[in-house]
Every structure is written in structure tokens, then in C-alpha cells.
Structure 1
Amino acid sequence: MGTMRLIDLLDAGLPGRDVVIPGSTVPVRQARLSCSASIIRFPPGWTRPQRGHYLAGEEFVLLEGELRVSGVQYELGHHAWLPAGTLRHSGVAPGGALVISWFAGTAAWVASDLDEPDGPSMRTPLATVVIPAGGLPLGPSSALRDTPVTLDRPAEMVTVGSWTWELSQVMPGGRVLVRWAT
């Protein structure tokens, strides 16, 4: 089984709908790729001033622009893993941003000041991080790999640099974020 579909994540023409991220000031544009993956376009000036956390962990890759979450700045090609319960005390996309995002369960937002993450948060520069033999785990369901392999089941794959997404059992060449369904 090979590629089921290949999508250019930077394609401005991807279909989508306007949604309001809980606690934020203006809608974002969301295009669903799978039951867990979405492309989110944050408009310039987007903010989330409300403090709170998600009941599920979130993983994202910044594809364009700049995004700051709780004072942590994410730049082009940065991968983030924010475990369930991680306090988000602010969010801002000053000039706008584009991300691919996955939640490890239902994306239920809880407004609060509590900070009880179910594990450590991580920020990883996908283009420059050293990848050990066998791949670099990035979250509970993902790894960065640079050696093509055939998988035992289809996985979502994001090719670093060309920023394409595909659902496949065959990993393409180059640096690839591989994410298995949760």
C-alpha cells in the first residue's frame, strides 16, 4: 500500500471553514486533513488571552509565520508537543501563522490557572535536530525519521522542508515527521 493522497500544506487554496479557538479573539481558518490532523491559518493579530488547558495533548508544526504560546516562540519548522493539562497563559500570532495540528483526543478546552501537564512540553527544530538511528521520538504518537522504511500500517507523514502531508505505509526520503493514529 503506497500513498493514499498527497497534500501541499502551503496551498492557500485548501478548503476550510472559520472556527473560533476557545478563549481567542478572532476566528482562524481550519482545513481538516484527517480525523486528527488539521491545517490552521491564524490571521495577523490573532490572540488568545484566556488562560487554560486542553484535556488532550496537542502536537503542531509551524509552517509559516510566528506563533507564541505561553511565552514560547515557535518559528518555521518548529515542532511542539504540549501534553494534556499544560497551562496556556497566552497565545499570539502577530503577523499570522500557519500550522498543522493534531490532538491526542478530544480538544476540550478548560479555562483555568492550573498547570498539571501529563508530561514534559517539547519544542524541536525539525530541519536541524540530530536524528539518532531508529528515529527521534517527538511525542507519544510521533517520531522524526530520515531513513525510508515500510510501516506495518498507514501513518500520517509530513515531509520537512517541502511541507507535504500524506497518509501512507511507505515513508518518503528525507526528514519526515511520522505520526500514527491515536
Structure 2
Amino acid sequence: MTNSESVLAAAPVQPARSDRLTTQLDIVRSAGARRVLAVLRLATGFIFLWAFLDKAFGLGYSTPAERAWISGGTPSRGFLLGDAVVGPLKPVFASIASPASDVLFMLGMLGIGLAVMLGIGLRVSAVAGTVVLLLMYLAEWPIGLGAGSTNPIVNYHVIYALSLIVIAVLHAGDTWGAGRPWKRLGIVQRAPWLI
């Protein structure tokens, strides 16, 4: 074997597009770790789905029946105009409270919750969920005395956002979810950001 042949033999071969998607499935090789990630995915997805269900139907946990969305309640306006929003950005959040913010918030909670629980569209869900959580973090203004949080830097919004990012990066939808068949769809193969 000549020197140039040995260099070529040692060079990595760039996999085809579909092979690259398959290779990404093997990021976490331990079956136990994949199951733990699947449980994290299901729990995180349920946080968003539960927020939708409780606010839509007034299940009595954070939303009483009389304030349910189906009874004319205002899920985002109730939060944005209520006592939960504190700090210097309160006027900004009050200005975006509208019927449109109610619809967008509820569709966001439903979409993120279902996608994460199903294990599909995790990149989009991670970005959308992180944006929602960042806005809620800022609305509750965790910094300073009288803040809406007991920790000025890391609260549950940050932990949930990090969970969404980990779930997406490590392809947690492939275990106990529809992630693998989702990735085989033609539209997802052509637009990998939909993974």
C-alpha cells in the first residue's frame, strides 16, 4: 500500500444525508440512558400539555372551572395582567395581553406539549418552548427583593428550558416516541430542522 492509499483508507467517509440522520440516532448508546431521556421527555411534554388542559377546561389546579378558556376565561391575559407579573417589564407584558395572546399561548402549550410527548419536531418545540419559558421567567422577574422567584438566576423556567434543549439535542423522541418514523418522512429529510 502506498502512502497516498493509506491516507485515503484512513480518511472518514462522509455518510449520505439519510445515513447522517441514522447516525444521529446513536448519540446516546446506553439503553438505560435512553429510557431516562424518554421519561424526561414525557414529563416535560406533560408540563406543557397539562398547562393547556388545566387552562382550557378549568380542572381546578391553577385554573378554576369558572375561569376556564372554554367558559370565556383569558389564560394569558389572566397571567399577564395579574399579580404574577412583577418587575420593570410589567408594563411591557401588560401591553401584549390580548385575545390574540390567549390564542397563541394556548396553541403554543398544546403544540409544544403534544410534539414533545410524541417525540416529533423536538428542535422546533425546544426553541418555541424556550422562548415561552424565557418570557415567563422575565414576567416573574426573579431578580431583587420582592421578586416572583426564590432564586435570582435559576428557577423552574430555566430547568424546563434546559430539559427541552437536552431532549432535542439527544433525540429523546426515538425511545418510546415517534421520533424514528418522523425522521424518515420526506419533508423532514428535506428540512432537518423539523427533527
Same structural fold, with TM-score higher than 0.5 when normalized by the shorter chain: no
TM-score, structure 2 length as denominator? 0.21
- Which structure carries more helix by proportion? 2
- Which structure carries more strand by proportion? 1
TM-score, structure 1 length as denominator? 0.22
